Amino acid sequence: MRALLLRDLRLALRAGGGFGLGLAFFLIVVMLVPFSVGPEAQLLQAIAPGVLWLGALLACLLSLDRLLALDLEDGSLELLLTAPLPLEGALAVKALAHWLTTGLPLVLAAPFLGVMLQLAAPGHLWLLISLALGTPALSVIGTFGAALTVGIKRGGLLLSLLVLPLYIPTLIFGAEVARRGAAGLDASTPLLMLAGLTLAVVALMPFAAAAVLRMGLR
Amino acid sequence: MQVSDLSVARGGVPVLSGVSFALAPGEALVLRGPNGAGKTTLLRCIAGLQEPLSGRIEGAEDRVAYAAHADGLKAMLTVRENLSFWAQVFGMSDLSPALDGYALRPLADRLAGTLSAGQKRRLGLARLLVTGRPIWVLDEPTVSLDADAVALFGSVLRGHLAAGGSALMATHIDLGVEAQVLDVSAYRAAPDADLGASDAAFL
């Protein structure tokens, strides 16, 4: 398991691994928002939590189609299936590697991008907390989507169509935490819902992903 | 390992039925048959990558090391990193038999993506040595190997068999290894045989 995690991290950081792509995408999307809606501070402040959450979510989606497709292409996915690792565990580790290389940089960058969108002062902390709690769910759900579409040529778009609806609950509660935090309201209810959602998908999705992957490769 | 009355399907179509053989430690078995006869499908079943339609495979679980057309190499990892990843996955630590067996030591710090096709193949076969598994299931192991590398593979295989391992291979090349031959075309499934390919409706 640890070997798989280290291998995936190492591959992500080497040339062509795509590390930083999601982060750069997030940066550009957030930068484009003031150009599209205008520079009014009041308006930007109101939409900042939602825009930041949406940007992070789309950035997470960007690298999902590589998650299993590369391993399928070079044959290592089949070899992993014959290895003594439980497939559920291997997929959970791959989701963790995806989160560490894609989700975590987004979480850390988001408060700085919040400044660009005039996010109100206590909101940065809440944005950080909500993304830190929510993005693991995005990676795990995405792993399920990647397992579902792994054998399909040009499955990337299909993957997005399948995964985005599943992201909705996380988006709702995550953005709500950030919005309430920024407005100085009590954010504990959506925060608990967000944490509960993440825990549930982290517990269940690796099993679902392993089941569909076994079916797909047969 | 014992295989009895095995039937396998490819793409929902039964290709082989009633395959039975036994493989004892120290033995090698070569599968022969024309293209499309079902050699790869049979090997995938035995490796556990696909379910047989019927029949039993005994003594294969968690003892099989599988090598197919794709070597499972990561282009951006070095030869040594590729090998040590698989060694760790299989709970082994010693890479030297694999590096020495296939003369990979001079290449150990090269990225796998910069190797030639034959060198990649040698690395793919070296992976078998770091799995520590007794039964090798090999699908066309000598593809893109030159005569010297085939000889290397033959000697590694002899060593594996002498150490009590066994090998099941689909190959058309004489490896200089004493092996039984199983011609799978004798087990061809009847074209209209309905052996319960349950997923046929979806294909």
pLDDT of residue A65: 86
Q: What is the mean pLDDT of chain A?
A: 91
A 176-215 residues with CB < 8 A to B: none
Show residues of chain B in contact with A74, CB under 8 Å: 70-75
Tokens 């930068």 map to which residue? A31
Q: Tens digit of pLDDT for each residue in A184-196?
A: 899 999 999 999 9
Is A125 part of the contact surface with chain B (CB cutoff 8 Å)?
no
Residues in CB range of B85: below 8 A, 6 or more apart: A3, A4, A7, B74, B77
What average pLDDT does the segment B71-92 reach?
A: 91
Q: Which domains are seen in chain B, by residue range?
A: 2-202 (3.40.50.300)
* Amino acid identity for residue B137 in this structure: V
Residues 6+ apart with CB under 8 A from A177: A126, A129, A130, A133, A187, A190, A191, A194
- Which residues of chain B are within 8 Å of residue A4 when distances are taken between CB atoms? 85, 89
How far A14 CA sits from the closest chain B CA (Å)?
7
Which pLDDT belongs to residue B70? 87
B window 141-160, beta carbon within 8 A of A: none
Q: Do A82 and B77 touch (CB under 8 A)?
A: no
Q: Kindly report, residue by residue over A101-129, the tens digit of the pLDDT.
A: 999 999 999 999 998 888 888 889 999 99
Query: Where on the phi/psi map is residue B18: left (φ > 0), alpha (ψ -120 to 50), or beta?
Result: left
> Of the given ranges (A32-36, A185-189, B199-203), which has the lowest mean pLDDT?
B199-203
Residue of A nearest to B128 (CA): A79
Average pLDDT over residues A45-60: 93
Chain A residues lying within 8 Å of B121, measured CB to CB: none
Take residue B4 and report the two structure tokens written for it: 């009895």
When pLDDT is cut at 50, 70 and 90, the band that residue B192 belongs to is low
Q: Give start and end residues of each alpha helix (H) in chain A.
A: 2-13, 21-37, 41-62, 66-73, 76-82, 87-98, 104-116, 123-148, 155-183, 188-217
- The pLDDT tens digits of the residues spanning B23-67 come to 989 999 999 888 888 899 999 999 988 888 888 888 888 889 999
Nearest CA in chain A to B111: A14
Q: What is the pLDDT of residue B198?
A: 53
A2 to B88: CB separation less than 8 angstroms, yes or no: yes
Q: What is the DSSP letter of B188?
A: B
Q: What is the mean pLDDT of residues A13-18?
A: 78
